[in-house]
Structure 1
């Protein structure tokens, strides 16, 4: 889908919204989750100059949810192997992870083709994004990223004093790498790339991104969030970890929350130059905050190739089913390389949320350039059929 992006109106709408902010109940999670979110004059969450989000108070507490399609979770996990590992490890819950953690780090290092001193682990990759933001921006500076993008790092960076340079995506919703590179100046301390991107699901081509990271990392660190890369079936992409062998200042984050099905067990890692990690280690004890049961589950999940392949296959099949039915109903979705799909809708976002929630279905709704969109996570085939059936009643 090609969507025309009006940069002049985008800037204007962003400035107007900032001028009319009020406070709302907080919906964010992470290092600054206790802070209230900001609402624009229309009571939408201000995500970025381009994006506002609708919400229903108490979404996560709503009764009788039959299809939870709002959080991009893996509906099949954790794998049976990880569940067994958790049960078996509980009896050692009186001990720190210790040796098991070091062995897991070594396995990840081998997988990524780096030495262990290039790795930092944490309870989820968002934790790492936030720690990097705290360290890099506690004395100000600016961060460059696409808009829309995943907001965890951006929000924390702003909270400690950063200025955000939001660069609108291109007409196919990939990163505008040329504009992002041009936005880097003497005050830029980090460039953030989420690929595949959230909330759009779009991909930026691997070689283009590799060339961009190679050049730009000579000036400032480039953080590449690869949370969804293992679900990118048929994508022209690749991991940026290979640049570390060239001593490029690139940071790559990965998570076990998606392909591994461990969103609630919390495990993630980032790969970077040891010199970069040295500064982050000044404010964290790395994997010390990860419980031994999670280490056991992560080890088992990592070795469970069958579960990962099943997740990829089932996710792709359910997504193709959704594509087919969205097309039948006249919706023009953004092709997604993740476990969610973003598409424009014909009713207002809050109305969509209310009607879906009444049927026990949770989704997300954004206004992008003041037009309503729905982001639906890919669940099981039965859950997608439930969602499609509900959407059909609203499209009739």
Structure 2
């Protein structure tokens, strides 16, 4: 069917002429081949054997809709973290939640404050909302400028966005900065803290941001996920703690009744019941992260000191070209899109053999691009 050049007239002004960005795309040239995936910050290990068994045992029940409120795991998390069950909500991964959180707060033209260097998807959501966005540049070392963000909040600001640890830097906020952003964000502004990599931060010695934000007088939401440390990215289960039931109910209205997979809750419950396996994931991730960081240094790169399951580094050459040439060698890595960070690549942790292959290929790619 021929496209109609007038179709754009029926779209909202801010949605016209958009190009769809989908980092999960597997092109035809890669299908059926052995591709080393180190670009999506996935866990390279399968889920806990207990989680796999639980989901398999649930297979004969997927003719029925699951309870989208995830009652069993909600009660578990409520007891673990001291947040009332009515203030915990669920989404199809934390990706759905970040969009929903902004939708219930920001009307077109209203202001939100955000760091400049953050997951690319955030910028897409800002465009969909048609928000008035105040972008606060990160510090030269890629850390979030907390003071700059607080200073940028104005009379029309409704939302402040903070990510710790941050993607794509892998850097976490220190305890003092978390206290500061919680205390100094005005009480009429909702503070949204995305903690998709929470478990990695705690494993690396970071603080639990939720325990600090719960002391805040103004409204807040903290989002987390089972995709990363629990190896359940394909199950699509994210959740958020809210400062009030009113905020939680507004989010439930946006996220839909039927947004949770029948497998998601049973798999997540089983994963929570297998803490030793989660320790294995976090420990093996830390080992490979150290290998990647040291390997990047040996190749003349300047890696950021990530605490997550990925590492970003300045290669000295355009990151887009490095990604292209690595992909030609069957290894998928990512790059940073932000101004000032064009020479940065981002490598997700893999298994030991993946690390070996990545560093060998990266050495060849960098030598070629550097002309040496």
**In the alignment, is residue 62 of structure 1 matched against residue 30 of structure 2?**
yes
In the alignment, what sits opposite 2:164? Answer: 195
Name the CA shift for 1:132/1:138 in 2 (closer, same or farther; >3 Å): same
- How far apart, in 2, do the equivalents of 1:190 and 1:242 lie? 18
- How far apart, in 1, do the equivalents of 2:50 and 2:100 lie? 31
Question: What is the CA deviation profile of residues 104-137 of structure 1, one whole-angstrom value per residue up to 9, with x for unaligned ones?
Answer: 1111111221110110011111111111122222
The Cα shift of 1:217 comes to 4.7
In the alignment, what sits opposite 2:116? Answer: 147
Provide the secondary structure at the position in 1 that maps to 2:134: strand
TM-score by length of 1: 0.82
In the alignment, what sits opposite 1:42? Answer: none
Provide the secondary structure at the position in 2 that maps to 1:260: coil
Name the CA shift for 1:209/1:361 in 2 (closer, same or farther; >3 Å): same
- How far apart, in 2, do the equivalents of 1:231 and 1:170 lie? 22
The Cα shift of 1:219 comes to 3.2
The Cα shift of 1:26 comes to 1.6
Provide the secondary structure at the position in 2 that maps to 1:283: helix
CA contact (8 A) 2:68 2:259 kept: no
**In the alignment, is residue 225 of structure 1 matched against residue 194 of structure 2?**
yes
The more displaced of 142-151 and 331-340 is 142-151
Provide the secondary structure at the position in 1 that maps to 2:177: helix
Provide the secondary structure at the position in 1 that maps to 2:214: helix
The Cα shift of 1:215 comes to 2.5
In the alignment, what sits opposite 2:10? Answer: none
**In the alignment, is residue 369 of structure 1 matched against residue 340 of structure 2?**
yes
In the alignment, what sits opposite 2:274? Answer: 304
CA contact (8 A) 1:196 1:203 kept: yes
Of residues 250, 261, 266 in structure 1, which corresponds to 2:231? 261
- Number of equivalent positions: 348
- How far apart, in 2, do the equivalents of 1:364 and 1:187 lie? 35
In the alignment, what sits opposite 2:9? Answer: none
In the alignment, what sits opposite 2:20? Answer: 26
Question: Pairwise mapping of residues 345-356 of structure 1 onto structure 2 (< 5 A)?
Answer: 345-356=315-326
CA contact (8 A) 1:150 1:194 kept: no
The Cα shift of 1:195 comes to 0.4
- How far apart, in 2, do the equivalents of 1:255 and 1:87 lie? 21
In the alignment, what sits opposite 1:280? Answer: 251
CA contact (8 A) 1:181 1:216 kept: yes
The Cα shift of 1:206 comes to 2.0
TM-score by length of 2: 0.87
Question: What is the CA deviation profile of residues 3-49 of structure 1, one whole-angstrom value per residue up to 9, with x for unaligned ones?
Answer: xxxxxxxxxxxxxxxxxxx967522489xxxxxxxxxxxxxxxxxxx
In the alignment, what sits opposite 1:358? Answer: 328
- How far apart, in 2, do the equivalents of 1:373 and 1:143 lie? 27
Provide the secondary structure at the position in 2 that maps to 1:391: helix
CA contact (8 A) 1:260 1:301 kept: yes
Gaps of 5+ in 2: 1-15, 368-372
Provide the secondary structure at the position in 2 that maps to 1:171: coil
Name the CA shift for 1:103/1:58 in 2 (closer, same or farther; >3 Å): closer
- How far apart, in 2, do the equivalents of 1:60 and 1:189 lie? 43
In the alignment, what sits opposite 2:214? Answer: 244
Where does structure 1 differ by over 6 angstroms across 4 or more consecutive aligned residues?
none
- How far apart, in 2, do the equivalents of 1:24 and 1:99 lie? 32
Gaps of 5+ in 1: 1-21, 31-56
Of residues 340, 356, 363 in structure 2, which corresponds to 1:392? 363
CA contact (8 A) 2:108 2:130 kept: yes
CA contact (8 A) 1:129 1:152 kept: no
- How far apart, in 1, do the equivalents of 2:130 and 2:18 lie? 21
Question: Aligned Cα RMSD in Å?
Answer: 2.4
Provide the secondary structure at the position in 2 that maps to 1:281: helix
Question: What is the CA deviation profile of residues 189-236 of structure 1, one whole-angstrom value per residue up to 9, with x for unaligned ones?
Answer: 100011000111112112321232132152301000000121124344
The Cα shift of 1:376 comes to 0.7
Of residues 319, 323, 339 in structure 1, which corresponds to 2:293? 323
Name the CA shift for 1:184/1:119 in 2 (closer, same or farther; >3 Å): same
